[in-house]
Amino acid sequence: MTDNPSKKFYVTTPIYYVNDVPHIGHAYTTIASDVLARYHRLLNEQVFFLTGTDEHGQKVEQAAKLRNLSPQKHADKLVTGFQGLWKQLNISNDDFIRTTEDRHKTAVRHVLSQLWDKKEIYADTYTGWYCLPDERFWTEKEIIDGKCPDCHRPVEAISEQNYFFKMGQYRDRLRQHILENTDFIQPESRRNEVLGFLEKDLNDLCISRPKKRLAWGIPLPFDPDYVTYVWLDALVNYISAPGYPEDSVGFQACWPADVHIVGKDILTTHAVYWMTALLALELPLPKKLFAHGWWTIDGEKMSKSLGNVVNPSEMAETYGVDAFRYFLLRQVPFGNDGDFSLTALITRLNSDLANDVGNLLSRTLTMLERYSGGLSPQPVKGREQEDIALQDAAETLFSKVDQSLSNLEFEKALVEIWQVIRIANQYIEKGAPWQLAKDPEKKERLQIVLYYTTETIRIVSCLIAPFMPTAAQEMNRQLGLSEISTTLPLNVVARWGNLPAGLHISKGKPLFPRIQPEKKQMPEKKLPPPKSDTPLPVKSLVSIDDFAKLDLRAGIIRSAEHIEKAKKLLLLQVDIGTEQRQVVAGIATKYKPEDLIGKEVILIANLKPATIMGIESQGMLLAAGGKSVLGLATFSEEIPPGSTIR
Ligand code: ME8
Cβ atoms within 10 Å, residue 307: 19
**Cβ–Cβ contacts within 10 Å for residue 396, how many?**
13
21 lines ligand 1 (CB under 6 A): no
Calculate how far, in angstroms, residue 265's C-alpha sits from the geometric centre of ligand 1.
Answer: 7
588: nearest Cα among 555, 619, 617, 565? 565
What is the length of the chain? 646
Give the list of residues 6+ apart from residue 540 with CB closer than 8 angstroms, or none. Answer: none
The separation between CA 618 and the C-alpha centre of its own chain, rounded to angstroms, equals 26
Write down the mean pLDDT value for the chain.
91
Does the CB atom of residue 263 touch ligand 1 within 6 A? yes
**Under a CB-based contact definition with an 8 Å cutoff, are residues 5 and 21 in contact?**
no
Q: Rounded to whole angstroms, how far apart are CA atoms 269 and 255?
A: 19
Q: Using a 6 Å cutoff on CB, does residue 230 contact ligand 1?
A: no
15: Cβ below 6 Å to ligand 1? yes
Domain identity same for 430 and 476: yes
User: Three-state DSSP class for 26?
Assistant: helix
Residue nearest to atom 19 of ligand 1 (CA): 235
Same-domain status, 472 and 535: no
Residues 346 and 448 in one domain: yes
C-alpha 29 to ligand 1 mean position (Å): 8
Give the tens place of pLDDT for each residue, 95-133. 999 999 999 999 999 999 999 999 999 999 988 898 878
| The model scores a pTM over 0.85 | no
What DSSP designation does 634 have?
Answer: -
Residue 408 near residue 32, CB atoms below 8 Å: yes
DSSP letter for each residue of 265-325: GGHHIIIIIIHHHHHHHT-PPPS-EEEE--EEETTB---TTTT----HHHHHHHH-HHHHH
337 in Cβ contact with 406 (< 8 Å): no
The phi, psi pair for 57, rounded to 5°, reads 95, 175
pLDDT value at position 567? 86
SS3 state at 141: coil
Higher-confidence position of 244 and 551: 244
Tell me the CA distances in angstroms from 141 to 147, 203, 432, 458, 625, one per residue in order: 11, 12, 70, 59, 55
The conformational region for residue 283 under phi > 0 = left, psi -120 to 50 = alpha, else beta, is beta
Query: Which ligand 1 atom sits nearest the alpha carbon of residue 29?
Result: 24
CATH number of the domain where residue 535 is located:
2.40.50.140
CA atoms within 13 A on the CB side of 278: 25
SS3 for 578-590 is CCEEEEEECCCCC
Paired with 480 in beta bridges are none
The verdict on 526 and 428 lying in the same domain is no
Q: What stretch of H or E contains 477?
A: helix 469-478
364 lines ligand 1 (CB under 6 A): no
Which residue's C-alpha comes closest to atom 28 of ligand 1? 263
| Residue 566 to residue 588: CA distance in whole angstroms | 9
- Say if 307 falls within a structural domain: no
Query: pLDDT confidence of 611, banded at 50, 70, 90?
Result: confident
- Packing angle, helices 321-331 and 24-42, rounded to 10: 100
Query: What is the residue with the minimal CA distance to atom 10 of ligand 1?
Result: 25
Q: Which residue has the higher pLDDT, 598 or 368?
A: 368
* Residue 52 Cβ < 6 Å to ligand 1: no
Number of separate domains in the chain:
2
Looking at ligand 1, which atom is closest to the CA of residue 20? Answer: 22
The reply to whether 266 falls in a domain is no
pLDDT for the residue 536: 40
Q: Which residue has the higher pLDDT, 272 or 308?
A: 272
Question: Which residues lie across from 602 on neighbouring strands?
Answer: 554
- What are the tens digits of pLDDT across the range 467-505? 999 999 999 999 999 877 778 999 999 999 999 999 999
How far apart CA 438 and CA 536 sit, in angstroms, is 75
415 Cα to the center of ligand 1, angstroms: 26
Asked if residue 603 belongs to a domain, the reply is yes
Q: How far is the CA of 168 from the centre of ligand 1 (A)?
A: 26
Determine the atom of ligand 1 nearest the C-alpha atom of 238. 19
- Tell whether 489 and 417 lie within a shared domain: yes
Whether the CB of 377 sits within 6 Å of ligand 1: no
Is residue 641 in some structural domain?
Answer: yes
| Local confidence band at 613 (pLDDT 50, 70, 90 cut-offs) | confident
Domain membership flag for residue 122: no
Q: Determine which helix (DSSP H) or strand (DSSP E) holds 24, and give its type and residue range.
A: helix 24-42
Query: Residue 630: which domain range?
Result: 519-646
In-domain check, residue 246: no
Q: How confident is the model at residue 295 (pLDDT cuts 50, 70, 90)?
A: very high
Residues ≥6 apart with Cβ < 8 Å to 29: 13, 14, 261, 262, 263, 292
Range 535-546 average pLDDT: 60
Contact status, residue 444 vs residue 384, Cβ threshold 8 Å: no
Q: How far is CA 576 from the centre of its chain?
A: 24
Mutate to test the pocket of ligand 1, among 28, 232, 264 (most ligand atoms within 8 A of CB): 28
Same domain as 464, residue 525: no
In a domain, 68, yes or no: no
The verdict on the CB of residue 59 being under 6 Å from ligand 1 is: no
Q: Are residues 534 and 440 in the same domain?
A: no
DSSP-derived letter for residue 375 is B
Residue 518 confidence (pLDDT):
52
Give the pLDDT mean for 141-146: 91
- pLDDT of the residue at 524: 47
3-state DSSP call for residue 596?
helix
Same domain? For 352 and 460 the reply is yes
Ligand 1 atom 26, closest CA: 263
> 186: closest CA among 286, 272, 102, 290?
290
Sequential DSSP letters for 599-614 = -EEEEETTBPPEEETT
Closest CA relative to residue 284, chosen from 132, 177, 199, 169: 177
Q: Does residue 423 sit in the same domain as residue 489?
A: yes
631 is a domain residue: yes
In Å, what is the CA distance from 495 to each residue of 276, 398, 419, 452? 44, 8, 17, 13
Q: Inform me whether the pLDDT recorded for 40 exceeds 60.
A: yes
Same domain, yes or no: 541 and 640: yes
Distance 219 CA to ligand 1 centre (A): 25
Which of 234-256 are b and which e, b meaning 16 or more Cβ less than 10 Å from the residue's Cβ? bbbbbbbbbbbbeeeeebbbbbb
CATH of residue 401's domain is 1.10.730.10
Predicted local confidence at residue 534, as pLDDT:
39
Regarding whether 643 and 595 lie in a shared domain, the answer is yes
Task: Give yes or no: residues 646 and 539 share one domain.
Answer: yes
pLDDT surpassing 90 at residue 442: yes
| Cβ–Cβ under 8 Å, residues 13 and 261 | yes
Amino acid in the structure at residue 416: E
CB-ligand 1 contact for 28 (6 Å cutoff): yes
